[in-house]
Amino acid sequence: MFENHHKMSECHGTSNMHDCKSHCHHPKVSIGKIVTKVPVVLAELTLQVNVDATITFPEAVLEIKDIKKTIKLTQCRLLLPSNKLFVKGFVRKNIQYASPCKEIEETSLTSIASDLHSYTVDIPFQCVTDIKHFLSMPVMPEVNNRQEFDFFISKPLPSGYPEKDELQTHDLSQFHQESHQFYNEIPYCELVSSKIIEWDEAIDRCPLPHTGPIGEGYFRTIEEKMVIDICVKVLQNQQIRVTSTTNDDCD
């Protein structure tokens, strides 16, 4: 009885891919001269950064098998009203390497046993460059300002002054001010592409202890030199005027 109930409760489902028809909707478009706020490309440029760094592994390295690299920007700031662009970031490197392992097999004159490990490290960089040519000029920031003002008052003078004379001044018990504060659009960056040329070299390589094949050794520290080319777009949200003259139907 239990087996029959189990068979009755089983659920079998199938799914097929079917074609579905679609049609184009006629969009609602404002006709005329329209003011909109959109990102405007101020500049597109390639930065070249030179990096010299030292990496120390947590264990002995027989050889490096592969290195995967990724550029990550942490800051890209156009310092208005100047044309200086400040860039900060780091290269994320995942290094796959072989490490000698005696637990697998003892090293001999003709063989070495090793484990495949990986080590991830961040190599920081920073630079400052001039934007010599703007594709579109940035909207310069409006400067905040404050202005104080006073009101005229007249008061009777104390004894010792002529009765018809008055003290004419401003009221020290009051404070009046007009302040303007502007919330400017700050430029920002988008990372377009990157290219890295690197040279990695062990600086503490030594032969394997006791015995091992000819020319084999291990190291823990490498010195690397990188030439990094980074292409970025510098943008700013701006108000622009566009013209819409038609609202044709979709074909």
User: CA 6 to CA 11: how far, in whole Å?
Assistant: 10
234's tokens:
């510098």
User: CA 140 to CA 195: how far, in whole Å?
Assistant: 32
Pick from 135, 165, 160: which is nearest to 232 by CA? Answer: 135
178's tokens:
């007009």
Q: Identify the burial level of 104 via C-beta atoms within 10 angstroms of its C-beta, where 0-12 means exposed, 13-18 middle and 19 or more buried.
A: exposed
Q: Identify the burial level of 238 via C-beta atoms within 10 angstroms of its C-beta, where 0-12 means exposed, 13-18 middle and 19 or more buried.
A: middle
Please tell me the predicted confidence (pLDDT) of residue 118: 95
Please tell me the predicted confidence (pLDDT) of residue 223: 96
Helix, strand, coil percent values for the chain (each to nearest 5): 5, 60, 40
- Phi and psi of 157, rounded to 5°? -85, 155
User: CA 119 to CA 14: how far, in whole Å?
Assistant: 45
Please tell me the predicted confidence (pLDDT) of residue 249: 60
SS3 238: strand
Please tell me the predicted confidence (pLDDT) of residue 11: 61
Please tell me the predicted confidence (pLDDT) of residue 5: 54
Pick from 170, 90, 158: which is nearest to 124 by CA? Answer: 90
Half-sphere exposure of 205 (CA within 13 A, CB side): 14
Note whether 73 and 231 are within 8 A (CB): no
**The whole model's pTM is what?**
0.75
The full set of domain ranges for the chain reads 30-135+147-244
Pick from 143, 136, 141: which is nearest to 235 by CA? Answer: 136
22's tokens:
């679609």
Predicted confidence pLDDT, tens digits, the chain (251 residues): 555 555 555 666 666 778 888 888 777 888 889 999 999 999 999 999 999 999 999 999 999 999 999 999 999 999 999 999 999 999 999 999 998 887 777 767 667 878 899 999 999 999 999 999 999 999 999 999 999 888 888 888 788 777 777 777 887 778 888 899 999 999 999 999 999 999 999 999 998 887 777 778 889 999 999 999 999 999 999 999 998 887 776 54
The overall longest dimension of the chain from CA atoms, in Å, is 122
Residues 6+ apart with CB under 8 A from 126: 49, 75, 86, 87, 88, 89
Return the beta strands (E) in the chain as ranges. 32-61, 63-79, 84-100, 114-130, 145-149, 152-156, 166-170, 176-180, 188-202, 206-207, 217-244
